[in-house]
Amino acid sequence: EPEVTQTPSHQVTQMGQEVILRCVPISNHLYFYWYRQILGQKVEFLVSFYNNEISEKSEIFDDQFSVERPDGSNFTLKIRSTKLEDSAMYFCASSDRTASTSTDTQYFGPGTRLTVL
């Protein structure tokens, strides 16, 4: 069964450094999302992406964050200058909501655990 994949599974970085989190969505999906979950807290929406542009973003998604689809398979989240409070689990998700048979369900990857020291 097709699934969303994410790399790396765990990333440790120093405060102020740039990180790029990578995701490979399910191949026929056209909508992509990033969420984050700070340890012990609820999952929070960051951004959605469709047709090579951001379609929606949350207040959390400030100028330190950016997303990109550099090729036909990858979808990346970049944090330019990491802060301690960026430590969280970051989930990528994708959906096929444009398909006529779509269930409009978002399928999640296994997550990348980001630790900022």
Partner 1 sequence: AQTVTQSQPEMSVQEAETVTLSCTYDTSESDYYLFWYKQPPSRQMILVIRQEAYKQQNATENRFSVNFQKAAKSFSLKISDSQLGDAAMYFCAYRSASWGGSEKLVFGKGTKLTVNP
Binding residues vs partner 1 (CB under 8 A): 31, 33, 35, 37, 41-45, 48, 55-56, 58, 89, 91, 93, 97, 103-111, 113
Q: Are 67 and 53 in contact (CB under 8 A)?
A: no
Q: What is the largest CA-CA distance in the chain?
A: 46
Q: How far is the CB of 87 from partner 1 (least distance, A)?
A: 14
Q: How far is the CB of 16 from partner 1 (least distance, A)?
A: 26
Residues in Cβ contact with 117 at an 8 Å cutoff, skipping those fewer than 6 apart: 12, 13, 14, 15
Measure the CA–CA gap between 55 and 38, rounded to whole angstroms.
Answer: 24
> Looking at beta carbons only, is 82 or 112 nearer to partner 1?
112
Q: How far is the CB of 117 from partner 1 (least distance, A)?
A: 20
